[in-house]
Chain A
Amino acid sequence: MRLTVNGEKVEIEGSVSVRQLLVSQKVATPEYVTVQLNEEFLNTADFDSTMIKEGDRVEFLYFMGGGQGRNEVQ
């Protein structure tokens, strides 16, 4: 089955859930990743029950928190 993950073509074997795709794509912190499936946000609660289909476009969106560089914290 062919799909697009973060803009890259990916080929996977068999049927997989979004949760399994997170594992097979080696996503570091799957519990804090936002998933968009065909441009729709997916609830974390649906990661197990949502199956990936041929041609799906999947985006993993990551928290990115740097940019101020505080030395002291309140």
Chain B
Amino acid sequence: MRFSDGQLERYSRQIILKEVGVKGQERILASKILIVGAGGLGAPAAMYLAAAGVGTLGLVDCDKVDLSNLQRQIIHSTRDVGKPKIASGRETIRDLNPDVKVVAYQEWVSAANIADIIKDRDYDFIIDATDNFPAKFLINDASVLLRKAFSHAGIIRFQGQTMTYAPDQGPCYRCVFDSPPPADAVPTCRRAGVLGVMGGIIGTIQATEALKYILGRGELLTGRLLTFDALTMNFRHVSLARREGCQVCGANPTIRELIDYEQAACDM
């Protein structure tokens, strides 16, 4: 691959890193990353990945931009209120970096479509930037079954957590959380609130994991759950072991097909 002068200049601050270099930048430009959810977590993740030059960014979201999103979903602007989030996201990314091809999926993920979406461009890495457990378990199970690496994250109030799954490199999300909680059993951002920066901090960590995975550099958050409390500024790692009896990645998996869990009746 030959870089244009503009590309050499655009990416100069990361090409200069010995962990990236020309080879690494080529890998980034050739990479394909799928972001499920163009909201609090997905917005900063998409913007940093686009800025870094990820060649293909898939964005999945069925929602439209609402005024109450703008406190944290920084990929959308005031003039975008009412527009599909993927359309608004695509415009922001196009302005930021024309090297990036955005593939937009205006739908919610389900057992019926997620495998097709992942296979559509044979994405290298998936970012779970969703806000509900049916989707989180679906992304986990699809990634395990299709042998794809992904980053899980969740945020609420002043707290966040994230972990990375990579095939054969540690536990999956289901090893940690066996099955989704009933709808409404666990507080949601809509009811409990969230500080806008939480998506920025945790979503940016997800983007970092994706880039490390693409570059094959550093240590991923595999086998570790990173928890963050913004009030105390405590980052903690919790070591996680794979669960032998995990329903999807264990020794005798019982989940061989994707499951649509009941969606909460109210907004999450």
Footprint of B on A, CB under 8 Å? 6-7, 29, 31-32, 34, 36, 39-41, 59, 61-74
What A residues does B263 contact at CB under 8 A? 73-74
Known A-B contacts: A63-B154, A68-B129. Give 6 more (CB < 8 A).
Answer: A61-B238, A66-B192, A68-B39, A68-B40, A70-B268, A71-B63
Q: List 26 A-B contacts (CB under 8 A).
A: A34-B177, A36-B240, A62-B186, A63-B154, A63-B181, A64-B161, A65-B154, A66-B40, A66-B131, A66-B154, A67-B41, A67-B129, A67-B154, A67-B189, A67-B199, A68-B38, A68-B39, A69-B39, A69-B40, A69-B68, A69-B189, A69-B190, A70-B63, A71-B69, A73-B264, A74-B263
Contact of B155 among A6, A34, A64 (CB under 8 A): A64
Tell which of B108, B177, B189 touches A61, judged by Cβ atoms closer than 8 Å.
B177
What's the A-B contact tally at a CB cutoff of 8 Å?
122
Closest chain B residue to A32 by CB distance?
Answer: B181
Closest chain A residue to B160 by CB distance? A64
A67 x B236 contact (CB < 8 A): no
Interface residues of B (CB under 8 A from A): 37-42, 61-64, 66, 68-69, 72-73, 108, 110, 129-133, 135-136, 153-156, 159-161, 175-178, 181, 185-186, 188-190, 192, 194, 199, 202-203, 225, 236, 238-241, 243, 263-264, 266-268
- Determine whether the beta carbon of B156 is less than 8 Å from that of A41: no
Query: Which 3 residue pairs of A and B lie closest in terms of their CB atoms, listed nearest first?
Result: A64-B154, A66-B189, A68-B131
A26 CA / B206 CA spacing, docked (Å): 31
Q: Is the CB of B69 within 8 A of A69?
A: yes
Given A34-B176, A67-B129, do A6 and B236 touch, yes or no (CB 8 Å)? yes
Q: Chain B nearest CB: distance from A68 CB in Å?
A: 4
Q: Indicate if the CB atoms of A63 and B177 lie closer than 8 Å.
A: yes
Majority-rule SS of A interface residues = loop
| B268 touching A59, Cβ below 8 Å | no
Q: Which residues of B contact A34 (CB under 8 A)?
A: 176-178
Collect the chain B residues with CB atoms within 8 Å of residue A68's CB: 37-42, 61, 63, 129-132, 135
